[in-house]
C-alpha cells in the first residue's frame, strides 16, 4: 500500500471515532503525517475559535503499539471528557496497548 493510500486508510479509521460526538453536524479535519513507524495525528474542528489550533494532537508508534505525546486542547465543540473518550476509541481502532499521557498517567489494555 503506498503512502497516500495508507494515510487515507488511517483517516477513515479515525473518522468513525467521531460519529457520536458530532454536535450540530460539525465536521472535524484530520491531519495525518507518517514517518517510518510513527504517525502524528491532529484533530481540528471545522468551526474554531480565533485562537484554537486543535482539539487533540498525538503520535502513535505502530510497531510498539503506544499512543504518546498527547496534547489536549479545550475546543469549542468538545469537552475534555469527550476528547479523552475519542482518544480511547482511536486507541482501540489502532489496537494500541498503552496510552502515555503527559501527566504521567498510563492506560494499559489487556487483550
pTM for this predicted structure: 0.75
Mean pLDDT of 100-108: 70
What is the spatial distance between Cα 19 and Cα 23, in angstroms, rounded to a whole number? Answer: 9
In 36-109, which ranges are E strands?
Answer: 38-45, 56-61, 66-72, 98-100, 106-108
pLDDT higher than 80, residue 67: yes
Domain ranges of the chain: 3-108
pLDDT higher than 90, residue 55: no
pLDDT tens string 1-15: 666 777 787 777 777
Mean pLDDT of 66-92: 82
pLDDT higher than 60, residue 23: no
Q: Percentage of the chain surpassing pLDDT 70?
A: 75
| pLDDT score at 60 | 92
Amino acid at each position: 500500500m503506498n503512502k497516500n493510500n495508507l494515510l487515507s486508510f488511517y483517516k477513515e479509521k479515525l473518522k468513525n471515532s467521531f460519529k457520536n460526538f458530532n454536535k450540530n453536524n460539525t465536521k472535524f479535519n484530520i491531519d495525518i503525517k507518517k514517518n517510518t513507524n510513527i504517525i502524528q495525528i491532529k484533530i481540528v474542528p471545522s468551526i474554531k475559535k480565533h485562537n484554537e489550533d486543535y482539539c487533540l494532537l498525538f503520535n502513535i508508534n505502530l510497531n510498539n503499539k503506544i499512543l504518546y505525546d498527547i496534547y489536549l486542547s479545550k475546543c469549542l465543540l468538545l469537552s475534555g471528557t469527550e476528547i479523552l473518550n475519542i482518544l480511547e476509541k482511536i486507541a482501540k481502532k489502532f489496537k494500541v496497548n498503552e496510552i502515555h499521557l503527559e501527566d504521567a498517567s498510563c492506560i494499559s489494555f489487556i487483550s
